[in-house]
């Protein structure tokens, strides 16, 4: 959560990639529940008036399909606050505890006639 920031999208971003929701809590829940679908959200902090272009909604949620401006965050006044879903690399996996499933052992391990290891980067 970043106070004083808002999410910055490129001018060419499609409107369908941005959803307006009624509350900050609703926006945060959407991003936390489905981080694979949403890049993040931003809202106007309590005590501040929301921009007229937002209508009656208090927050915006941005899909991962949005084209972002630079890194996606832009410094603004303290009226705004943004939350971005970030992925972190897990610690080293103990090979004895690796989870192997049909998708990993089948589809991901063999591609276009080539065999790849379980730990192949980019998979």
The residue to which tokens 């949005």 are assigned: 66
Is the pLDDT score of 78 beyond 50?
yes
Q: How many CB atoms lie within 10 A of CB 123?
A: 12
What confidence score (pLDDT) does residue 23 get? 85
pLDDT of residue 75: 81
Calculate mean pLDDT across residues 102-108.
65
Tokens at residue 86, please?
């970030």
Counting beta carbons within 10 angstroms of the beta carbon of residue 52, is it exposed (0 to 12), middle (13 to 18) or buried (19 or more)?
exposed
β-pair type (68-75, 59-63): unpaired
pLDDT at 35 over 50: yes
Q: Quote the pLDDT of residue 30.
A: 92
Q: Is the pLDDT of residue 94 over 50?
A: yes
Question: Which two structure tokens, joined as six digits, stand for 112?
Answer: 């276009």
Torsion sign, CA atoms 49, 2, 87, 14: positive
What is the residue-averaged pLDDT of the chain? Answer: 75
Nearest to 37 by CA among 75, 3, 66, 6: 66
Residue 3 has pLDDT above 60, yes or no: yes
Q: Is the pLDDT of residue 121 over 60?
A: no
The reported pLDDT for the residue numbered 123 is 47
């Amino acid at each position: 959560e970043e106070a004083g920031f808002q999410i910055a999208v490129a001018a060419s971003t499609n409107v369908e990639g941005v959803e307006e929701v009624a509350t900050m809590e609703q926006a945060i829940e959407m991003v936390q529940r489905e981080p694979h679908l949403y890049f993040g959200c931003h809202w106007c902090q309590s005590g501040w008036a929301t921009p007229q272009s937002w209508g009656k909604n208090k927050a915006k949620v941005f899909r991962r399909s949005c084209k972002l401006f630079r890194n996606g965050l832009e410094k603004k006044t303290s009226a705004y606050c943004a939350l971005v879903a970030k992925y972190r690399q897990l610690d080293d996996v103990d090979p004895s505890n690796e989870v192997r499933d049909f998708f990993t052992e089948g589809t991901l391990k063999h591609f276009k006639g080539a065999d790849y290891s379980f730990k192949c980067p980019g998979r």
